[in-house]
Homo-oligomer: A and B are copies of this chain.
Amino acid sequence: MTVNTNPMPDVQGSVDKRRIAIDRVGVKAVRHPLSLIDRSGAAQSTVAVVGMNVGLPHDKKGTHMSRFLQVLRDEGREVSVASIEALSRRMVDTLEADSGRLELAFPFFVDKAAPVSGERGLIDYDVELVAEVQSGVATQTLKVVVPVTTLCPCSKEISEYGAHNQRGHITVTVESAGAVWIEEIIDLVEDKASCEVYGVLKRPDEKFVTERAYENPKFVEDVVRDVASALKSDARLSRWIVEVENFESIHNHSAYAYIEGSNSTA
């Protein structure tokens, strides 16, 4: 089949008269395999759900949707928190725009050793990475969901024995001018829970994590405060949010806490 060379009308390229600029226009829900370079320089393979969009001036009727996919195809196979800004700038240039936003959501894996046996196993963390360019200035947002164990201080205190515990999610979102590594967030928050979770646990490990959680009871209020306290001291973060959600073992709903802050240096 030969390429059709007839000139075709460029509907998107025509003039718009409504005098309304569009903040973001592009593609969404694109699934895309990714080689993610981590803090150590190693590559891990994952699959991202991608959103890409740019600002459109008031007098342009439409953007060029296929170019987003071409940028992603040609330059988006290998990314890191350090390279995402360059990719977003490349997208803005290709679309001949002044602003743009690149969003990647993907699972990130860490190979952890069990606390006693040392058995290795993967833990998966949901990550969202956003790079935004406005008039040449770039901002990055990183969101990491860290699964943990939480054990209820009230339940422990009032009961003869035992204490209800459950899986919880600590979600940290940080905004910065430059790169913050996913592993930095994980390291910062993982020890703020009653206990970490693991992929492979043998019996001596199970004894360890059970006792560790019991010795270290925490409400969502405790966890959210301890993580907030750690985030407050990182001068790179212009804005941060920490959320804790416990999938309560004694209810069919969650307990939830949220703190936001900004580490402005003004």
Q: Which residues of A contact B (CB under 8 A)?
A: 1, 3-4, 6, 8-12, 16, 18, 20-33, 35, 44-47, 51, 53, 56, 61-63, 65-66, 69-70, 73, 107, 109, 115-124, 147, 149, 151-155, 157-167, 195, 197-204, 206-211, 213-214, 219-222, 224-226, 228-229, 245, 247-260
Contact of A47 (CB < 8 Å), options: B62, B107, B245: B107
Please state if B165 and A165 are interface contacts (CB–CB under 8 Å): yes
Q: Given contacts A28-B245, A33-B46, A158-B207, list 18 more A-B pairs with CB under 8 A.
A: A4-B116, A11-B219, A22-B224, A22-B259, A25-B258, A47-B47, A53-B256, A53-B258, A61-B222, A62-B219, A66-B200, A70-B119, A158-B203, A159-B207, A161-B211, A164-B206, A198-B250, A213-B249
Q: How far is the CB of A184 from chain B (nearest CB, A)?
A: 20
Contacts of A247 in B (CB 8 A): 166-167, 247
Once A28-B256, A69-B121, A167-B248 are accepted as A-B contacts, the answer to whether A61 and B221 lie under 8 Å apart by CB is yes
Contacts of A211 in B (CB 8 A): 159-162
Please state if A118 and B207 are interface contacts (CB–CB under 8 Å): no
Please state if A33 and B45 are interface contacts (CB–CB under 8 Å): yes
Please state if A117 and B259 are interface contacts (CB–CB under 8 Å): no
Contacts of A32 in B (CB 8 A): 122
Q: How far is the CB of A213 from chain B (nearest CB, A)?
A: 7
Please state if A8 and B209 are interface contacts (CB–CB under 8 Å): no
Please state if A249 and B250 are interface contacts (CB–CB under 8 Å): no
Please state if A252 and B147 are interface contacts (CB–CB under 8 Å): yes
Please measure, in the bound complex, the distance between the C-alpha atom of A123 and the C-alpha atom of B252, giving whole angstroms.
Answer: 7
